[in-house]
Structure 1
């Protein structure tokens, strides 16, 4: 993919002047804008050494085409199916999430490896206990790890392994006394337009996606403030970087290409509308700043390390943008064909 100088010539004009307001927030934003600007300024503006550095990083070929390093990302993911190393020690209680991030990413890259499925299924099943899935063996079940475990099993099309009745009983046991899901969700929408973790909390991209997806499942999205929601979502895109942030006055982060992007797609679908807020700028951020050329994998912003979490959600964001061959389902966060097949299977059960 290429980005013309006409598109990028105004990069410097988009950098904001924070001199009148010197805080940690503004300093971090200014620093991030400067890092991002390097990837956006046209070649004819850069000095020779900067041009050499740009090509050495691997983002551009000799014709100025931006590369998507698919094979490097696949190798990065497969490497993490073995020893994860000390960096992932804090996620020892998140095994279903690690399998979900790796297998979903490989699937979206059209590089799924069915030889991995037997071992992955056994590892996920070992996390099942007391009606739900835990983060590891001999731990308590949790809704978040249950979500990751079920999605992982659906990715591998291991439907018969899923403890359907026990999971249903677990979910129903966690309903509030008045029996509501939807009322709580609507109560989490803040004055900003997005949703927080609980009533009165600051709007956040991740919680907004969860709320929008849940309301879409219930066919009740129209009962929240959709106008305010859409405005808040669109406002998450930054002019210079092109990517999304997750909260007001926070830095852009690659994972929000999924959380914000998928939420916008669900709102568009509800309204039968077309269009996408500056798709070219979002792709620019994805290709130029999310990819880690030295390590493989994807990341939240320039000069950060890639990780499994950001790799998966950045790829999901690219799928929402139509930049991958596989189409991710914006409610379930796995490839749409797998969702259809899963629903067909469970729809045939009594």
Structure 2
């Protein structure tokens, strides 16, 4: 780990500053031993794979009454858990696949199209996205064919707002960037992303970019990591990457990684949160693709094949990721001397040879050291409780940081920490994206 600088506690104290200092102190206890002159500790960093698998399987088989507040988010719980298990390399048994398929496809799918948050609930784009992704992760003929694509397309089109050209989340609901992304992600996977679905979305997303460079939930709202991802991914899916000021977005995105903690924040002056490991971390492969569209001499166009995405104009997807490009810790990591040769406490620290525009070493340190529950599951930050949402997006961000398109896998700690590769645009594993696209007659997003 680098000797990173935390905030300065000066006389001008604010609630924000006090919370930041408190967070840094809570994280220091996790980093303290790691920073000592014990190189073997670097190699012993371990992803608690079996504990996380057990935690997820327990949730998939039944939850306590404390989860009643998430009754309208049951497809999300399915997705968070199924995707986590897939990243961890756990194969579901056929009975469990059948049960989840039946629940989502026959009980949550509305007869007029779309999916609700539970049986009999109003169809809504958020649980529709979660349901479709879950069925794609299960990836059986039944789970894919149970999706009523024609009615789903009609449902999506019915939510398009003629004034803003964005999407409402549900009938008479709010219009925000989530709607644009979830509608286009589902439509692209299922090969129903025609001109009627995609038209105008680029103009709506463009209107949501803020003075900071990030993207807010709607025009005039604050730039936010989750909405920024949704906006950028939506532009990629409608093949309109030129509509965003990619330089300003990149400038904003790189400043969301916390200098001391190593994880990402979602907004300016906010605390680190492990879920942004994906929402922010996954933006960087997408930024690479946008830059490659603008200047293929700057960025290798093989990024398109890595993302399973066909770019606009005259570009075509090329190159395929080779999963054999996996290396051991000693190959992936090199050690550098710290800058102060007179400090007896200085030592050699590992540095991953990553390929994105953020510090993969720092992010993996934060997730592996600070965010794992010893009994399974991951949490926002030290002092918080584990939950399935943070487990899913922490593992997703870890996967993004481990896999690059021009370099071998970059795995901090034990080489068994390597997760399966997620697609940064859709956030299900690449094999499930490929199989789903093939099933519905497409080759790329």
TM-score of the aligned structures, taking structure 1 as reference length: 0.88
Q: 1:209 to 1:187 in 2, by over 3 A?
A: same
CA distance in 2, matches of 1:63, 1:336: 29
Secondary structure in 2 matching 1:261: coil
Aligned to 1:88: 67
Aligned to 2:317: none
Q: Indicate yes or no: 2:117 matched with 1:135.
A: yes
- Report how far residue 84 of structure 1 moved: 1.2
Aligned to 2:278: 258
Q: 1:316-345 CA deviation, whole Å, 9 max, x = no partner? A: 001101153411011111001111111111
Aligned to 1:155: 137
- Report how far residue 222 of structure 1 moved: 2.2
Aligned to 1:56: none
CA distance in 1, matches of 2:118, 2:389: 18
Aligned to 1:194: 214
- Report how far residue 260 of structure 1 moved: 0.4
Q: Indicate yes or no: 2:7 matched with 1:16.
A: yes
Aligned to 1:326: 420
1:71-86 to structure 2, matched below 5 A, reads 71-86=50-65
- Report how far residue 146 of structure 1 moved: 0.5
CA distance in 2, matches of 1:44, 1:100: 36
- Report how far residue 62 of structure 1 moved: 7.3
Equivalent pairs, count = 326
Which residue, 338, 342, 345 being the options, matches 2:436? 342
CA distance in 2, matches of 1:132, 1:235: 37
Contact 1:16 1:30 in 2 (8 A): yes
Contact 1:103 1:152 in 2 (8 A): yes
- Report how far residue 66 of structure 1 moved: 1.4
Contact 1:254 1:301 in 2 (8 A): yes
- Report how far residue 177 of structure 1 moved: 1.9
Aligned to 1:218: 238
Which residue, 110, 121, 144 being the options, matches 2:89? 110
Tell me how large the CA RMSD over aligned residues is: 2.0
Contact 2:34 2:41 in 1 (8 A): no
TM-score of the aligned structures, taking structure 2 as reference length: 0.70
1:274-313 to structure 2, matched below 5 A, reads 274-293=355-374, 295-313=375-393
Aligned to 1:208: 228
Secondary structure in 2 matching 1:253: coil
Contact 2:203 2:243 in 1 (8 A): no
CA distance in 2, matches of 1:226, 1:300: 28
Q: Indicate yes or no: 2:288 matched with 1:268.
A: yes
Q: 1:153-209 CA deviation, whole Å, 9 max, x = no partner? A: 111112101110011111111222255221111111111111111000000000011
Which residue, 94, 101, 104 being the options, matches 1:121? 101
Q: Indicate yes or no: 2:11 matched with 1:32.
A: no
Unmatched runs of 5 consecutive residues or more in structure 2: 166-199, 293-298, 300-354, 403-410, 412-417
Contact 1:193 1:232 in 2 (8 A): yes
1:157-196 to structure 2, matched below 5 A, reads 157=139, 158-177=143-162, 180-196=200-216
* 171-180 or 108-117: bigger deviation: 171-180
Contact 1:175 1:181 in 2 (8 A): no
- Report how far residue 63 of structure 1 moved: 8.1
CA distance in 2, matches of 1:332, 1:114: 24
* Bigger helix fraction: 1
